[in-house]
Structure 1
Amino acid sequence: MIDKVRDFIDNANFTRAVIVTVSGFLPVFIGTQLGYFDIGFAIALGAFLTYPADIPSNIVHRAKGLLVATSIVTACTLLVNLLSTVPWLFYPGVVALVFLISMLSVYGQRATMISFGALIAVALGTGHIHSGLEIFTYCALILGGGLFYTLVSLTFNFLSPHRYTELELANCLKLTAKYMKLRGDLWNAGADRTAIIEQQLNLQVEINLAHENLREVLIRNRANTGNSNRSRRMLMMFISLMEILELALSTSFDHSSLHEKFGAHSKVLNTYQNLAYNLGSSLKRIGKSIAKRKTYTAKHNLMADLEAVENAINEYEQRLGTEAAAEGVWMLKNMLHYAEKQIEKIKVIERALTVTSLSKELNKKRTSDLDKFIQPDYYPLKTLFENLTFSSTIFRHSLRLALTIALGLAVGSFSDVQNVYWILLTIIVIMRPGYGLTKQRSYHRIAGTVLGGIIAFAILSLVHHHVIIGTLAVVCMLLGFTFTAINYWIGATFVTMYVVFLYSLLTPNIEDVIQYRILDTAIGAILAFISNYFFWPSWEFLNQPVFIKKSIEANRNYLAEITAYYNHKGDVTTSYRLARKNAMVELGNLMSSYQRMVQEPKSKQKQLQMVYKLAVLNHTLLSALASLGTYIQNHKTYKASEAFNVVVKAVTANLDHAIAILNLDIQAGEALTANNEELAVRFTELKNIRAGELREIHVDNEQEFRLRMEEAHLVIEQLIWLNSLSENIVKAVKALDLKH
């Protein structure tokens, strides 16, 4: 329990909650003590509105983001108050302002969070109108609150500048370890491989997010803080984690066939599975040592586990005889080679964690061109104009949000609602571009509000001391901000309790306040729910062809980079690593879209199984590509043969065919099919082609000839598997209904 509490406190979400709680509590407390509660509350409000923009990044970007957020929040507050001076323009102006602010989301995650804070400012502004010079005084206090929050946040960062990176790296290690564990589960004879693959696909989404967070912090920090020893070590560990994941993806064995072949010799597979589990366990242990800032000590002797696998292979060979066991030994040694590479990468991470300093020269080549892996800081105005179309999800969401806010204002004007801005706040907090998340948040918001109100009133019936109630309000605020990012239902419960406790200190009629709050929350949630269903909904089945196409394109580009590397050799290029990263990211995006579709009404889950099938096919294709790329990188290979390029051309043609179908370019697809049929005829001749090539270049040495033929066998078998997968992708894409 102590460890769980410690982990909860030593968490980025809790830290952010502490920052916003301190930023909000101090102005109110000091203002109350000096008799200026309203001033302290306005400053606290400015801090709260700036808080959403405080997302993890390097210190320079955080500071810029917070200052921009403070400026936009202040400007929105000023505009709402100025609009109130022209009554006929007020409601249209507020609705237009909501639309424009929401459109800022086209510029990425930080812009989305700045937009969210500004929308909250607009909603609150409609309920707290000032006049005359008070407008500018109030806006100055809001500005001061934003600047105060920025100061507190940067101070916390100064006190522990590397903690977020350490925790995110530990999380990435934990997720990768979980992925490795799932790969180990595949070796169970009775494993439900379909369920395990689905878990891997879902996990890929989380891993992609962790990778993106680490790129944002490590690479941007490297540019701003210099290449310090700590940053080199963390970057080295992150790069190794990426390579471990590629290796894990590359071990795409046919487990059923292996169990059939080695069923009578289960020791060799069990020994290998034990090694696979220990690889994941070692990563998990490294992650825990980083998170807890404890000295790392290895629990598993991976080299001994590797030796145990070698002994099991030798035992298998001795039992069957060299000739009879030849094919099996070759398969097992190929597995062993991948395990050796995984151990090498883990040893790199262990060394980066335990060695006091790393050679700059060691990292220089591997960390070059890293800036290409993150989004550049570029916010052109044309991006905004390009998204002013119904084909843009953000445009539809912004229009939907603006219309729902207009409905909320109308309901508030024509009904007996005490605080219209609570309806607007609920709409802004709940509404998301996707229907599924909006529905979920609607339920959680209402349930959290009701439950929070019940618990708070129960406490207030027993506790009447103002200091205790104030302390409970601060604690609930802290927990509310912490859980909002983890579990929205629990977060909404604590936020409601905080509001009830706060109002109990300020007003005598707290029962009326909470009744109106529950009513307004219900109205806002219902409006948000209805609007997301009827007003230009962004159903996921409409977006699926785009996600599928991007995943196929990313895999095709990855294959092109592998082909270029095989033909030209040399060092692994930045473009190769970028293609690998994009293939993983687009697969994760496809799976995220599938997850969102599952949350939508059954009637809108069109072609759900076919979409999932294409996600699995793309995952398998990515795994096969990673296997081919890893083999070429880690083995002594020769010049790519004509046979290799024949198959690559066929696979690429299939993927281009699938992309053409998704683009509704039927003629291009038919042309690619005709071309591919000619290539497919030659598959039966591939090994003969390679053998003829070797004889033509006079490879007389029997050992070298055998090695080159072994390479040809491995590569060609993998490519034939790739071609089969690409053909299945074409068939699956053809089965999609693209005219809905």
Structure 2
Amino acid sequence: MGKIIRFVKSFHFLKGLLITGSAFSALLLSYYFIELEVGIGMAFGVLVVAMSDITGLKRQRIGGMIIALFLGAFNYIMTQLSMNDLWLLYPVTAFCVFLSSYISIYGFRASLVSFASLLGIAVSFARPVSPELIDDFTGYFILGGFWYMALALIIDVFTPPIRRNELVTTTLKQTAALLSENIHLINHPNNDAGRKRMNRLQTLLTDLHEELRNELLIKETLQGIGGDQRKQLLVTAELIDLFELIVSQMPEQTYRHEGTSSFNTALNCVSKYLDQSVQQLMWLATDHHTASAPAADTGQLQHQSLSAIENLKEEAPLSKQTEELLFLQNLYDYAREVQNKIGCIERFMNRSIPGITEDEISEKEKFLTRQTYEPFLFKEHLSFKSPIFRHAVRMVVAILIGMLIGHYFSLPQTYWILLTIFVIMRPAYALTKQRSKQRTSGTIAGAVIAGILIYFFRDQTFLIVTTFITLTLAFTYVQQNYKTSATFVTVAIIFIYVLLTSNAVEVIGYRIADTLIGALLALLTNYFILPFWEYKRLGEILQSFISAEIKYIDVIQKTYLSKNRTGTNYRLARKEVFLIMSQLNAALQRLLQEPRSQQKGIKKLQELLSTAQSLLSASAALGTYIQIHQTTEASVHFDTYLSYIRNNLKSALNLIEPGIAKPEPTEETIDEARDALVVHYYVLKDKLKRMELKGTTKPQPQFQEEVKEARLISGQLDWIYQLSIRLNNDLKDYLKAQG
């Protein structure tokens, strides 16, 4: 029952209810007070505008809906005016399809506007009218669009920010899942399946963080805010820091611990301490005012972990088990810092928070990913090098072929073919293939369900109510699970036709046939007409990643030198490199869905991305250690290491685009820097032995921290250096495999 209540309260369900409610209310009001034709036109207008409606800056949201509405109306008028002359209809439709598809160059919101405006062409084929009624129907269409906008904006004023709340809750749950996988890998470091799950969760969380930023960090919502939104802003900042903290522990999982029983006892205690953090995150993700808090005592688990580590120290001199103790001590520090972050999150969620100042607004807006709407982009992408230009050309070809098939075979609902192409066709072949499968299987499943229901129930009231429910569910799942959405929308469309006609079997047959034709056309045109395979753009993303990693290394170095904890520049560099890593993982997934003939160098690419992921995690580990510990002054050897790491990364950049980066000079060799850091560590270790010989069994905490820093920093620098070399070699192998 709880799941049903959460579903009904969810953002996507309420959005689906808004769309269906707007369309049905327009139909009912027109039917009872004006005439049904007005309601039909308004319902189409509602559908077009709703498809372009996504959250974000209010002026961009409203602007996007208005552009979608008038572009859709323009496409409708142009197609209707040329409907009676095939020699005119085809070029006019081609122009409208190309223009609407091409505006996707302006980003995600523009891609939704593009799809919405294309629906205007489908509406023209679905609802042809005589020339003298085109103006009237267009007016109804535009009125419907403004009807939806008015209802959506009014509801926004009187309802809580559901989407924002859901994003915070989802991020809490997924962070808990990431931490849980991390704990499992700490105890079972050879589990490759666990690493893959962590990588998937890392990509998902990176996308969630970006979505949260775009929901929270816009000036009009930041100005004068307090209360829940201010809390969510602070919670999000802590969650992103916690995310980096968890990712930074991935290099530690390479430690192969085969210790004594005391070591295993200490490891088990720290794991339980970490697991308590997972439970707390899950509790915070629920309605924690009513749900029971985690039963375990965090303070007690912390004390047990510390006691277990101290017991291990008693077994043998510290100098003889330095590696094991450093591993456990670092793990304990990690667990304690995780708990501190979760404690901050809990306090922010339960405490009254003051408003935000103008200076803070300016600082936080730097974290927004801005979309450029400059006119020059329109001209810049008029090239076969542009994936969107190619996509627009393919869309035109597919639509024209679909129209020809419809006319040649006199299909009664040609617009179903066109609509299928509009919905399925994507710039990338992999996404088109995925959507084709989802659309086809969803349509067949929906047709079967509709056929069964019609066989048993012919009552008009039942059909109308079920149509309302299935349309609502179709719009609910359109962004979450397209196959399910296609199933529900097929049921709804068949029910609508059954209400209007008596031949249900014929409607079902045409619906399946038209969907198959549209899906096949989308796939074939994407494969044969100006295809743009994923491997062709991977070089650009790899170049962006390496450049972002160099910036990340730079800010880590500056943080170590200045001892300035997590400033804005550090957070911006971290955000950029994690986002691009997420793009690389997404590109790999798309590439795996493409034909094998186009998966050039796929194995080498997987090795390369694995190295890139390890490099990012190692860099995060270094950055996190510097932030959460009091560190000594940085040595010249530290700088030398980072110079060699940057030079290796610049060398990798030059493999992609020769001459793009120049190496920086160094005053000592990497071997000299490595030897100096290792010698420094052994000097400290030797000092520790002498202290033990004198009877000092418990050195000062500050000295212990110095020993730990010397070992971990030198080890981490050398690991990052080795990874930078491996990245270079893996990139060479990948480029060679590509030919």
| TM-score (norm. length: structure 1) | 0.92
Q: CA RMSD in A?
A: 2.8
The aligned residue for residue 503 of structure 1 is 497
What is the aligned partner in structure 2 of residue 142 from structure 1? 141
| Residue identity matched to 1:577 | R
Give yes or no for contact 1:544–1:611 (8 Å, CA) kept in 2: no
* Alignment partners' CA distance in 2, 1:583 and 1:43: 46
Once the two structures are TM-superposed, the CA of residue 612 in structure 1 deviates from its matched residue by: 1.7
Between 1:156-165 and 1:573-582, the stretch displaced more is 156-165
What letter corresponds to residue 340 of structure 1 in structure 2?
Answer: R
Question: Is 2:544 the counterpart of 1:550?
Answer: yes
Q: Is the partner of 1:403 in helix, strand or coil?
A: helix
**Structure 1 residue 256, shift from structure 2 partner:** 5.0
Matches within 5 A, 1:238-253: 238-253=236-251
Contact 1:289–1:296 (8 Å) recurs in 2: no
The DSSP-based 3-state class of the residue aligned with 1:369 is: helix
2:251–2:614 contact (8 Å) kept in structure 1: no
**Matching of residues 641-720 of structure 1 within 5 Å:** 641-663=635-657, 665=658, 679-687=669-677, 710-720=708-718
1:108 Cα offset (Å): 1.3
Identity over aligned residues, as a percent? 29
Cα distance in 1 between the residues matched to 2:296 and 2:103: 50
Pairing of 1:564-643 with structure 2 (within 5 A): 564-643=558-637
**Equivalent runs, 1:10-49 vs 2, <5 Å:** 10-34=9-33, 36-49=35-48
- Report whether the alignment pairs 1:358 with 2:356: no
Q: Which amino acid aligns with 2:369?
A: Q
Q: Decide which of 218, 221, 229 is 1:220's aligned counterpart.
A: 218
C-alpha deviation, 1:676, in angstroms: 8.4
1:266 to 264, 267, 275: 264
Q: Are 2:320 and 1:320 equivalent residues in the alignment?
A: no
The letter of the residue matching 1:285 is W
1:504 Cα deviation after fit: 1.0
- 62-71 or 722-731, which moves further after superposition? 62-71
The equivalences for 1:172-321 within 5 A come to 172-189=171-188, 192-220=190-218, 223=221, 225-261=223-259, 265-289=263-287, 294=290, 297-321=293-317
Distance 1:283-1:14 versus aligned 2 partners, 3 A rule: same
Q: Which residue of 2 aligns with 1:158?
A: 157
SS in 2 for 1:522: helix
Correspondence 1:414-453 to 2 at 5 A: 414-453=408-447
**Distance between the aligned counterparts of 2:269 and 2:360, measured in 1?**
34
Q: Do 1:282 and 1:300's aligned partners in 2 also have CA atoms closer than 8 Å?
A: no
Q: How far 1:322 moved relative to its partner?
A: 3.9
The structure 2 residue matched to 1:393, chosen from 387, 393, 413, is 387
Q: Are the structure 2 counterparts of residues 323 and 520 from structure 1 closer, same or farther at C-alpha, using a change threshold of 3 Å? A: closer
2:315 corresponds to 1:337:
no
1:722 matches 2:720? yes
Question: Which amino acid counterpart does residue 49 of structure 2 have in structure 1?
Answer: T
d(CA) in 2 for partners of 1:690 and 1:321? 20
2:342 paired residue number: 346
Write the distance in 2 (CA, Å) between the matches of 1:150 and 1:557.
43
1:643·1:690 contact (CA, 8 Å) conserved in 2? no
Separation of aligned partners in 2, 1:268 and 1:401: 61
The Cα shift of 1:579 comes to 0.6
Q: Per-residue displacement from partner, 1:675-718 (whole Å, max 9, x unpaired)?
A: 78973332443227869999xxxxxx997787656534332221
Q: Cα offset for 1:332?
A: 1.8
Of residues 377-386 and 651-660 in structure 1, the stretch that sits farther from structure 2 once superposed is 377-386
What is the aligned counterpart of 1:541 among 535, 539, 549? 535
Counterpart of 1:68, as a letter, is I
**1:582 Cα deviation from its structure 2 partner:** 0.7
Corresponding residue number in structure 2 for 1:698: none
**1:397, CA displacement in angstroms?**
1.2
Q: Distance in 2 between matches of 1:359 and 1:262?
A: 51
* CA distance in 2 between partners of 1:75 and 1:272 (Å): 64
Matched with 1:466 is 460
Cα distance per residue 1:61-105 (max 9 Å; x no partner): 433332332232223222323344765332112112111111111
The separation in 2 between residues aligned to 1:708 and 1:368, in whole angstroms, is: 38
Q: Is the 1:81–1:135 contact (alpha carbons within 8 Å) kept by the matching residues of 2? A: yes
Classify the secondary structure of the residue corresponding to 1:736: helix
Choose from 516, 522, 527 the match for 1:522: 516
Letter paired with 2:314? Q
Change in 2 beyond 3 A, CA 1:79/1:679: farther
Residue of structure 1 in register with 2:116 after alignment = 117
Instruction: Note the C-alpha offset of 1:400.
Output: 1.0
Query: Displacement of 1:668 after TM fit?
Result: 7.4
Range with bigger deviation, 624-633 or 345-354? 624-633
Shift of 1:435: 1.7
- How far 1:327 sits from its partner (Å)? 4.1
- The one-letter amino acid paired with 1:358 is I
CA displacement at 1:624 relative to structure 2:
1.2
396-405 or 385-394: which moved more? 385-394
Quote the offset at 1:275 in angstroms. Answer: 1.9
CA shift, 1:150, in A, is 1.0
The more displaced of 417-426 and 66-75 is: 66-75
Q: 1:172 to 1:727 in 2, by over 3 A?
A: same
Distance 1:661 1:256 in 2: 29
| Count of aligned residue pairs for this structure pair | 724
**What does residue 697 of structure 1 align with?**
none
Amino acid at match of 2:569: S
Change over 3 Å in CA distance of 1:563–1:505 after alignment to 2: same
From the superposition, tell whether residues 131 and 668 of structure 1 become closer, same or farther in structure 2 (CA, over 3 Å).
closer
Distance 1:368 1:639 in 2: 32
Whether 1:486 aligns to 2:473 is: no
Q: How far has the Cα of 1:614 moved from its partner?
A: 1.8
Distance 2:220 2:226 in 1: 8
Q: CA-to-partner distance for each residue in 1:409-437, whole Å, 9 max, x for gaps?
A: 22222223222211111111111122222
Using the TM superposition, give the Cα deviation of residue 278 of structure 1 relative to its aligned residue in structure 2, in angstroms. 2.0
Cα distance in 2, alignment partners of residues 222 and 199 from structure 1: 37
- 1:732 equivalent in structure 2: 730
Residues 182 and 200 of structure 1 are in contact (CA less than 8 Å); yes or no, is this contact kept in structure 2?
Answer: yes
The residue number in structure 1 matching 2:368 is 374
SS of aligned partner of 1:98? helix
* Contact 2:262–2:312 (CA under 8 A) maintained in structure 1: no
What are the residue-to-residue correspondences of 1:92-131 with 2, within 5 Å? 92-131=91-130
Deviation larger for 641-650 or 5-14: 5-14
Counterpart contact for 1:233–1:353, Cα < 8 Å: yes
537-546 vs 727-736, which moves further: 537-546
CA contact (8 A) 2:105 2:378 kept: yes
Q: Deviations over 1:164-186 (max 9, x none)?
A: 11111000111111111110110
Cα deviation code 1:482-504 (max 9, x no counterpart): 22222222211111110111111
Tell me: CA distance 1:705–1:475, structure 2 relative to 1, closer, same or farther (3 Å). Answer: closer
Deviates more, 1:605-614 or 1:321-330: 321-330
Whether the aligned pair in 2 keeps the contact of 1:430 and 1:528 (CA below 8 Å) is yes
Counterpart-to-counterpart distance in 1, 2:447 and 2:707:
74
Residues 258 and 311 of structure 1, relative CA distance in 2, 3 Å threshold: farther
* Bigger mean CA deviation after superposition, 92-101 or 328-337: 328-337
Are the aligned partners of 1:690 and 1:709 in contact in 2 as well (CA < 8 Å)? Answer: no
What's the CA shift for 1:296?
7.5
Alpha-carbon separation, structure 2, partners of 1:572 and 1:684: 27
- Please give the TM-score of this superposition, normalised by the length of structure 2: 0.92
Contact 1:46 1:144 in 2 (8 A): yes
Match of 2:695 in 1: none
Amino acid at match of 2:2: D
1:325 Cα offset (Å): 3.6
Offset at 1:192? 4.4
Q: Which runs of 5+ in 2 are unaligned?
A: 685-690, 692-698
Question: Does the CA contact (< 8 Å) of 1:59 and 1:154 recur in 2?
Answer: no
